[in-house]
Amino acid sequence: MRGVRLPIPRTTRARRRTVQAVMLGAVLALAPATWMHVTTGDRLRTTADVPAQDVAVVFGAGLWKGRPTPYLAHRLDTAAELYRAGKVRVLLVTGDNSRTEYDEPSAMRAYLAGRGVPDDKVVSDYAGFDTWDSCVRAKKIFGVDRAVLVTQDFHIKRAVALCGAAGVESYGVGVPEPHDSTWYYGTTREVAAAGKAALDAALRPDPHFLGAREDGVTEALAAAPRARP
């Protein structure tokens, strides 16, 4: 079977237009990634050098048989480390609880308790269905203005950029992972997700579920010691 042969522009003008179209497509494809790179700037830190903030936001990353996946466990380990070091005072865990049998925030909370984080210093957001929703709800529902964001290294730029667009001034701690098949899948997925992120930041849609204001973070902070610089 012969392969399909693409038509070749026959005139100089047609070839010029083809090249211009290809270049425009490349620019449009790279624009979201460029926006995220410029927006995050020096906002990406490590657990050692991240500035102290009142709140750390930990994004969900899936469950396996009701328990955090390894990637989510690594995020929670990092958040617990930040809490024990006095870098943050309260942890806001945000994830998917769209159905009764799937409850990311509760599993995250239980995992943190097993790592020595007091239950009253963990606040659950049950409607963090994606990164944009989590950022908007952190701001509008839980009243978070500044935060440390905790997620994998390939996701952290998007998280910081989206939370900034949602009104949350943040620093990001990216959790490093071995470059296995899961890491490559997540990194590849970010290319497509960057386009949606740019649209969310530009259009600023309401999250899937907004709901009423909650005082969980405010109440937890009232009883928590000050974060260390």
Per-residue model confidence (pLDDT) at position 3: 56
Does the pLDDT at position 46 exceed 90?
yes
Strand locations in 42-155 (E)? 44-45, 55-59, 63-64, 67-68, 90-94, 122-125, 146-152
> Shortest CA distance to 224 belongs to which of 154, 128, 119, 148?
119
Per-residue model confidence (pLDDT) at position 5: 60
Per-residue model confidence (pLDDT) at position 223: 82
Does the pLDDT at position 182 exceed 70?
yes
Per-residue model confidence (pLDDT) at position 198: 86
Does the pLDDT at position 193 exceed 90?
no
Q: Is 178 helix (H, G, I), strand (E, B) or coil?
A: coil
Q: Name the pLDDT band for 29 (thresholds 50, 70, 90).
A: very low
Per-residue model confidence (pLDDT) at position 13: 62
How far are the Cα atoms of 44, 71, 154, 158 from residue 178, in angstroms, in the given order?
19, 11, 12, 20
What average pLDDT does the structure give for the chain?
87
Does the pLDDT at position 25 exceed 60?
no
29-33, 93-97, 162-166, 201-205: least confident range = 29-33
> Any alpha helices (H) in 88-155, and if so which ranges?
104-114, 131-140
Amino acid of residue 166 = A
Crossing angle of helices 104-114 and 70-84, rounded to 10°: 50
Per-residue model confidence (pLDDT) at position 22: 42
62: Cα separation from own chain's centroid? 13
pLDDT, tens digit, 9 for 90 and up, residues 90-114:
999 999 999 999 999 999 999 999 9
88-97, 121-130, 198-207: least confident range = 198-207
| Rounded CA separation 182/188 (Å) | 10
**Phi, psi dihedral angles at 41 (to 5 degrees):** 50, -120
> Shortest CA distance to 61 belongs to which of 4, 131, 122?
131
Per-residue model confidence (pLDDT) at position 28: 39
> Shortest CA distance to 116 belongs to which of 69, 152, 82, 87?
82
> CB–CB of 138/162 below 8 Å?
no
